[in-house]
Chain A
Amino acid sequence: MEQTITQKILARAANRKFVDAGENVWLNVDILLTHDVCGPPTFDIFKEEFGPDAKVWDTEKIVVLPDHYIFTANEHAHRNIDLLRQFAKEQNLPNYYDVGTNRYKGVCHVALAEEGFNLPGTVLFGTDSHTCTSGAFGMFGTGIGNTDAAFILGTGKLWEKVPESMKFTFDGEMPEYLTAKDLILQILGDIGTDGATYRAMEFDGEAVFSLPMEERMTLTNMAIEAGGMNGIIAADSITEAYVKSKTSKPYEIFQSDPGARYHSKYRYNVRELEPVVAQPHSPENRATVRSVQGTKITKSYIGSCTGGKLEDFRMAAKILKGKKVSVLTNIVPATVKVMQDLECEQYQGETLKSIFENAGCSIALPSCAACLGGPADTVGRSVDNDVVVSTTNRNFPGRMGSKHAGVYLASPLTAAASAVTGKLTDPRDFL
Chain B
Amino acid sequence: MENIIQGKAYVLGKNIDTDQIIPAEHLVYSLSKPDEVKMYGKYALSGVPLPEGGLPEGNIPFVKDGEFESEFAIIVAGPNFGCGSSREHAPFSLKVAGAKAIIAESYARIFYRNCVDGGFVIPYETAEHLNEIVKTGDELKIDIEANTVENISTNTVYKLNPLGDVFSIVHAGGIFAYARQENLMAQG
Using CB atoms and an 8 Å cutoff, list the residues of chain A in contact with chain B: 24, 26, 37-38, 40-41, 44, 49, 57, 68-69, 74, 76-77, 79-80, 126-129, 131, 143-148, 151, 154-157, 161, 193-194, 197-198, 227, 229, 282, 372-376, 394, 396-399, 401, 403
A to B CB contacts below 8 Å, 8 in the list: A41-B89, A69-B28, A129-B84, A144-B113, A145-B87, A154-B185, A227-B109, A399-B24
Partner of B31 from A44, A157, A198, A399 at Cβ < 8 Å: A44
Interface pick from B54-62, B142-150, B174-182? B174-182
Asked if B27 and A37 make an inter-chain contact with CB atoms under 8 angstroms apart, the answer reads yes
Structural contact, B28 and A129, CB atoms closer than 8 A: no
Chain A neighbourhood of B161, CB < 8 A: none
Residues of A with C-beta under 8 A to B89:
41
Within 8 A of A (CB), among B62-76: none
Given contacts A76-B36, A145-B87, A146-B31, 5 further A-B contacts (CB under 8 A): A143-B86, A197-B80, A227-B108, A372-B24, A376-B25
B80 touches A372 (CB 8 A): no
Q: Mask for B151-188, Cβ within 8 A of A = 1, else 0?
A: 00000000000000100000000111001000011111
A129 to B85, Cβ gap below 8 A? yes
| Interface pair B19/A394, CB less than 8 Å apart | yes
B: number of interface residues (CB 8 Å): 46
CA gap between A90 and B87 in the complex, in Å: 25
Across the A-B interface, the 5 shortest Cβ-Cβ residue pairs: A145-B88, A76-B28, A145-B114, A143-B86, A194-B80
Give the complex CA separation of A179 and B185 in angstroms: 45
Q: Evaluate whether A151 and B179 lie within 8 angstroms (CB atoms) in the complex, with A40-B30, A128-B86 already known.
A: yes
Residues 98-128 of B, flagged 1 when their CB comes within 8 A of A and 0 if not, give: 0000000011111001100110000000000
Given the complex, which residues of B lie within 8 Å of A151, measured CB to CB? 117, 175-176, 179
B79 at the interface (CB under 8 A from A): yes
Cα separation A128 to B29 with both chains bound (whole Å)? 17
Cα A155 to Cα B91 in complex, Å, equals 24
B3 within 8 A of A: no
B40 to chain A, nearest CB (A): 11
Distance of A24 Cα from B108 Cα, bound (Å): 17
Which B residues are CB-close (under 8 A) to A127? 86, 88
How far is A41 from B114 in the complex, measured between Cα atoms in Å? 13
Question: Could you say which of B47, B80, B88, B184 contacts A41, with CB atoms under 8 Å apart?
Answer: B88
Residues on B with beta carbons closer than 8 Å to the beta carbon of A77: 28
Interface positions, chain B 25-48, Cβ under 8 Å from A, are 25, 27-32, 36, 47-48
Residues B88 and A146 in contact, CB atoms below 8 Å apart: yes
What CA separation (Å) do A44 and B92 show in the bound complex? Answer: 14
Is there contact, CB below 8 Å, between B117 and A194? no
B106→A194 contact, CB < 8 A: yes
Q: Which residues of chain A have C-beta atoms less than 8 A from B131's C-beta?
A: none
B20 interface hit (Cβ, 8 Å): yes
Closest to B112 in A: A198
Closest to B169 in A: A159
* Interface contact B110-A145, CB-CB below 8 Å: yes
Structural contact, B47 and A397, CB atoms closer than 8 A? yes
Given contacts A38-B86, A151-B179, contact A375 B25 (CB under 8 A): yes
Would you call B17 and A147 a contact (CB within 8 A)?
A: no
Please indicate the chain B residues that have their CB under 8 angstroms from the CB of A372 in the complex. 19, 24, 85
**A147–B118 CB distance below 8 A:** yes
Partner of B86, one of A145, A156, A161, A227: A145
Closest to B111 in A: A145
Measured in the bound complex, the distance between the Cα atoms of B82 and A198 in whole Å is 13
The reply to whether A148 and B25 contact each other, CB–CB distance below 8 Å, is: no
Shortest CB-to-CB span from A376 to chain B, Å, is 7
**Assembled-state Cα–Cα distance A396/B85 (Å):** 11
